[in-house]
Every structure is written in structure tokens, then in C-alpha cells.
Amino acid sequence: MYTYYHATTKLFSRASRNYGTDAVALPLLTIISGIVRLWQIGRVDRVVWDEAHFGRFGSMYLNGTYIHDVHPPLGKLIIALAEHLATARNSTFEFGGGAKYPSTVNHTFLRAQIAVFGILLAPLAYVTVRWMGAAQRSAAAAAAMAAWFVIFDNALCLMTRIVVLDGPLLCFTALTLAATMRWWLRAGGGEMRWIALTGVSLALATSVKWVGVFSVMLVGVLTVVDIVYRFLILADRIVPRPSRARIACTLLWIIAIRALLLIVLPLCVYAAVFRIHFAMQTQHGVGEHKMPIRFQANLRWNRYNRQPTNVAYNGSIAKLWPDSKHDGCGKLLAFRPPSSVKKKKSLKDPQHVGYGSVLTGADWWAFQSVDNGARAFVCDGCMVRLVHDTTQMPLQLDDHRKTSSDGDDVIYPVIIAPAKQENNIDDSWTIEIVSQELALLNDGLIHPIST
């Protein structure tokens, strides 16, 4: 590949000989940062502010309980690891707001582990500014001043001394900026390694909080500027003019490497974090109803975990038609009444009714055969009666409420009420399978999880 030199390459190489002060400044600033962050960090022995929120999430990870939260899982996984190292195995502390830490939880060590991310902010600030002004005589002084400001900033100090997500987020964001400046300004060799580190740190920052996307935007803009600058350098008369094909190959190589390390690699890391997140949660917990039902069915002690594979006549089943608002599933099992009760539309038009609710202990139904067939399981085309398991009343059309139209469909209101008479047509329903989520189960039978 065609090689070229950035305008500051020689300046960086010359300045690298003057980095002797870094060997003293970096350890000294890191020690000062550690003293400030760790000084009497365990003095308050109660749950402070959002420690109640994220500390509880960490304990839920350790218990295998499902967690649904607005933030990506990496920060909570880090807190869970810190709790694992600082908490006795038999501890059942739930991190209630203002609650006193029990003897089974070493809250000083717990907070100190999170404070490490805040301690690292000072050396990261130093090297970032140092690389940005590597050839300047005042670069070391400016870098030390930047690190000093980070060390004694009250907000940064406070947010990295308690068990919250801000410490890891700030650390990974600072690491992203430092690695980006390293390769973007050509501050030394090993460019590919620093680009790869940028991609990994981008994924880590975004995996803690989605506000890390702003780091992605910054790196994206700098990458575009870098590619344009390289094109201008290659095409300029300052360097020997190569052939157009050689320029094109060089640029394609540059773009491919950046796409691999700044797009594919971060996505893989981000997906791996979620893989760990789901692998650690095996029991039902908070917010699981927002996930697809097939996911919920794999959680132990979940309401759908004990659903039968097929629906048998006279067997009870819970909420066969999930409500999209509460179950995170967009499908709705619709029932079409027999043609003798169709209204307003011709017999060729589909007539649907639907029912959905938040599942409670009373949302169990039994399927009774209407056509007295010899089938053991409910299947496509069967005529059934839906009997509420608690009240023993059938689901039927409500004659006292008006129907409504939605496009070409007529919407029929339904109620749970005592049967009007034996073989009442208003409580007889024909099952129609619209689709199966799993092709292997496309056997004409009703499967509560996948139909």
C-alpha cells in the first residue's frame, strides 16, 4: 500500500523524546485522583440516592432475576460484579432507599470498585491533552492542568464515589476520546490498535448508557474528515503522484479497515454484552411482560412457562390472545362468530372480535367443544365455547352494545355473562389460525406460545 506522512508526524516523533515528564506526572496525578475519590468513601453506611436503584439491579443479576431497564446492561453488570466481590453469598440485602448496609455487604469495597473508573479519568485526561499538543513545550503543563481540573471537579468526584452508572460511562467515554486522538493525530505508531481500541470503547460507553451515542457521532465525524484528508494527501503534488487505481485501492483499504473496527467490532461487543445480560437472567422478574411471549416462556416461574404445547378440550389455558400494550407482542388472536350472527356486511367479509387485558389470576379459560367432534386438541376450524375458569361463564356477544366498524371489518363487543340458553350461537366461536411463529409447529393445532 502507498504510504504517506501526516503533517505532524515529524513533530510527534520529535516530541516523543520529551515525554520523560510523563513518567512522573501520570503516576502522581493518578495517586492524587485515588486519594480524592477514595477518601472516607465508606463513611456513610446507608444506601445513597440511586444506589437504591442500581444496587438492587445488581443483586437481581446475582439472583438470576429478569431485569427490564431503560439503560443497556453493561453498567449494571459491572455493579453486579462489584456486589459479588463485596457481598457475602448468603446476603439478601435489597438496597432499599436510605437503608443501612448490613454486615454482609462491604459497602466501602463496593463503592471503591466503582470509584476506580473515576480515578482513571485523570490519567486519561492527561494523555488526551498531551497527545493533542505533543509538539508544544507547554503540552505537559496543559495536560497536567486538565487532569487537575478533572480530579477536583465536584460533580465528577461525587458521581464516581457512589454505586451508579456515571463512573463507568465517563471512563469509557474518556477512553474513546483518548484513543481517537491517538490515531487521528498520528501520535505515534500502532494506528490499527488504537482504532480497534476506539471501536471497543465506543461499544462499552454505549453499553452503559445510550448517551454514549454522542461519542459515536464524534468519532464518525472525525473518521470522515480523516478519510477526506487522506484522499487530498494522496492526490496532492506534495507526494509522488501514483496511479488512480493505486489511490482508489488505498482509500478502499482505509475505509474497509475503519468500517470493520469502528462499526462491525463495536456491534459485536455490544451484542456480546446483551448475550451475557440474557444468560444471567433465568427467572421471572421486573418488566418481563414487555418482552415477547416466547422469551417469557423460557423464564422459570413465569406465567407462560407452564403453558401446554397444545390446547386440549376442557383444559384451562391462560390468556390465549396477548395484548400488544402489556405483553410486548403485536399479534392478536381474533375470533369470528358464525355466519348466522353477522351483521351489516356480506357473508364474504371477515367479521372479527378481539379481547385483551392484563393477565391476572382470573384470566384462565377452558375450551369446550360445540360441534361434539372426536378431536382431543383444539385445531384450525374448530367451533368452541370459551368458558371463564373462575366464573364458569362463557365469552359471548353483547347484544346491549352497538357494533362498530373499522375499515371493512365489523367490531363486535363481547362480555362474560351467564349462558342465555343451551347451544346458544352467541357464545360459539370458530378458531382460525392466521400464522405460526415456528414453521415446525404449522400442524393446524393451537399452540399458546407460537400461534
Q: How many residues does the chain have?
A: 451
pLDDT band per the 50, 70, 90 thresholds, residue 200: very high
Out of 10-14, 25-29, 226-230, 299-303, pick the least confident: 10-14
Gap between the Cα atoms of 121 and 124, Å rounded: 5
Q: Which three cell numbers mark 293?
A: 411471549
> What mean pLDDT is predicted for residues 47-74?
86
In terms of pLDDT, which residue wins out, 286 or 400?
286
What digits encode the pLDDT tens for the residues 209-218?
999 899 999 9
Q: How confident is the model at residue 208 (pLDDT cuts 50, 70, 90)?
A: very high
Q: What is the pLDDT of residue 349?
A: 37
pLDDT at 449 over 70: no
Q: How confident is the model at residue 229 (pLDDT cuts 50, 70, 90)?
A: confident
Q: What is the C-alpha separation between 58 and 209, in angstroms, rounded? A: 16
Q: Quote the pLDDT of residue 254.
A: 86
Positive or negative, the CA dihedral 383, 389, 393, 395 is negative
Judge whether residue 190 has pLDDT over 80. no
Cell of 423: 347451544
Average pLDDT, the chain: 76
Distance CA 372, CA 351 (A): 24
Helix (H) or strand (E) holding 182: helix 166-184
pLDDT of residue 383: 77
Lowest mean pLDDT among 6-10, 64-68, 399-403: 6-10
pLDDT at residue 131 greater than cutoff 50: yes
Q: What is the pLDDT of residue 332?
A: 32
Cβ-proximal residues to 162 (8 Å cutoff; 6+ apart), any chain: 48, 49, 50, 51, 111, 114
Distance (Å, whole) CA 131 – CA 146: 13
Residues 107 and 83: their CA atoms lie apart, in Å, by 9
Higher pLDDT, 132 or 451: 132
- Which triple of cell numbers denotes residue 320? 390465549
What distance in Å separates the CA atoms of residue 448 and residue 450, rounded to the nearest whole number? 6
pLDDT digits (tens, 9 = 90+) for 142-159: 899 999 999 999 999 999
Task: Give the C-alpha separation, 279 to 293, whole Å.
Answer: 17
Cell of 374: 372426536
Q: Which amino acid is at 340?
A: S
Fold for 307-451, please state it: Trefoil (Acidic Fibroblast Growth Factor, subunit A) (2.80.10)
What percentage of the chain reaches a pLDDT higher than 90? 30
The long-range contacts involving 229-237, CB below 8 angstroms and separated by at least 24 positions, are 230/4, 230/254, 233/4, 233/6, 234/2, 234/4
List the domain boundaries for the chain: 9-279, 307-451
d(CA 302, CA 283): 7
Reference 83, options 71, 72, 93; nearest CA is 93
State the sign of the Cα–Cα–Cα–Cα dihedral 16, 21, 22, 23: positive
Where residue 97 falls among pLDDT bands split at 50, 70, 90?
A: confident
Closest CA to 149 of 161, 140, 157: 157
Q: Which three cell numbers stand for residue 317?
A: 389455558
When pLDDT is cut at 50, 70 and 90, the band that residue 384 belongs to is confident
285: its cell numbers: 422478574
- Distance CA(302)–CA(289), nearest Å, equals 10
Top pLDDT among 445 and 131 is at: 131
- Quick check: pTM over 0.85? no
Residue 163 carries which DSSP code? Answer: S
Task: Judge whether 169 and 205 are in contact, CB under 8 Å.
Answer: yes
Is residue 237 scored above 60 in pLDDT? Answer: no
Span between the terminal Cα atoms of the chain, in Å? 56
Does residue 357 surpass a pLDDT of 50? no
C-alpha cell at 405: 366498524
pLDDT at 387: 79
- How many angstroms separate the Cα of 263 from the Cα of each of 71, 258, 417? 21, 7, 58
Does residue 346 have a pLDDT over 60?
Answer: no
DSSP state of 289: G
C-alpha 33/C-alpha 46 separation (Å) is: 24
User: How far from 328 is each of 90, 332, 405, CA to CA, in Å?
Assistant: 35, 11, 26
Q: Which of 163, 168, 185, 190 minimizes the C-alpha distance to 53?
A: 163
Q: Locate 26 and state its grid cell.
A: 501520570
Cα–Cα distance for residue pair 127/140, rounded to 1 Å: 9
Phi, psi of 389 (to 5 degrees): -65, -35
Over residues 410-445, the pLDDT tens digits come to 666 677 667 666 666 667 777 777 776 665 555 667
Q: Once rounded to an integer, what is the mean pLDDT over residues 25-46? A: 92
